[in-house]
A = this chain, B = another copy of it.
Amino acid sequence: MRADARKNYEQLLAVARLAVTKDGADASLRDIARKAGVGLGTLYRHFPTREALLETLLRTAWDELAAKAHELETASAPDEALVSWLRDFIASVRTYRGVVAVMMSALNDKESALYASCAEMRASGTRLLARAQAEGTARTDIDGTDLIALAGALAWIGDQPAIESRAERLFDVVMSAVRECPATDEHCKQRGK
C-alpha cells in the first residue's frame, strides 16, 4: 500500500472507532470520512461495505476470543469454561452498540465480510458447549447456534439503556438454564408443582 493510502487507512480506522463507540454500528460513514479529512470514495475504497469496516474494528478482539476458546478447552472445567467464554463473547460484542444485530444477520450471509468471524465464534461456542454436554453439565437440547442466539439476546439486553443494568444478572439466569441438568424437571415436579 502506498504511504499516503496507508495514512488514510489508519486515520479512517481511528476516526471510525470513535464514531462507532459513540453512535453504534450505524454511525454515519459520511461523517467518518469527513472527520478523517478524506473523500467519501476513499472510505469506500478501503472499506467497501459497513461490514468490512466493522470487521476491521473487531478483528483483534475476535482473534483473542478464538484463542481464549482454545485455551479454555484444555485448561478449565467444561461448564466453567463455557460460561466464562460466553461472558467474554458478550462483552466483546457489546464493545459497539448494534453490532450484535449486524453479526446475527452476517451469520445468514456467507458473502458478508463478517461471516467468517461470526462462524468462527459460533464454532468456538459449539465446541465448548459440546464439552460441557458430554460431561453432563449443559443441557443437551440446544446446539451452538442456539447458544449464540442466547448470547446475542443477552448482548441485546445490554444495548438497551432501560434494562442494561440487569444484563449481568440476566446472564446468570439464562446460564442457569443452559447448565440445567436433565433431572431438574422431575425434581421440581416432586416438590409439588
Contact = CB atoms under 8 A, between A and B. Distances in A.
Interface of A: 77, 79, 101, 104-105, 107-108, 135-137, 139, 141-142, 145-146, 148-150, 152-154, 156-157, 160-163, 166, 169-170, 173-174, 176-181, 183-185, 187-188, 191, 193
B177 A174 contact: yes
A170 B149 CA distance: 9
Given A152-B160, A152-B163, A173-B177, A193 B146 contact: no
7 contacts: A142-B169, A145-B163, A146-B163, A149-B157, A153-B156, A173-B177, A184-B184
Q: Is the interface of A mostly helix, strand, loop or mixed?
A: helix
A104 B162 contact: yes
Contacts of A108: 161-162
A112 to B, nearest CB: 11
Contact of A157 (B152, B173, B179, B180): B152
A136 B190 CA distance: 13
A173 B92 CA distance: 24
Contacts of A137: 193
A104 B108 CA distance: 26
A184 B177 CA distance: 11
A170 B150 contact: yes
A135 B183 CA distance: 21
Nearest to A104: B160
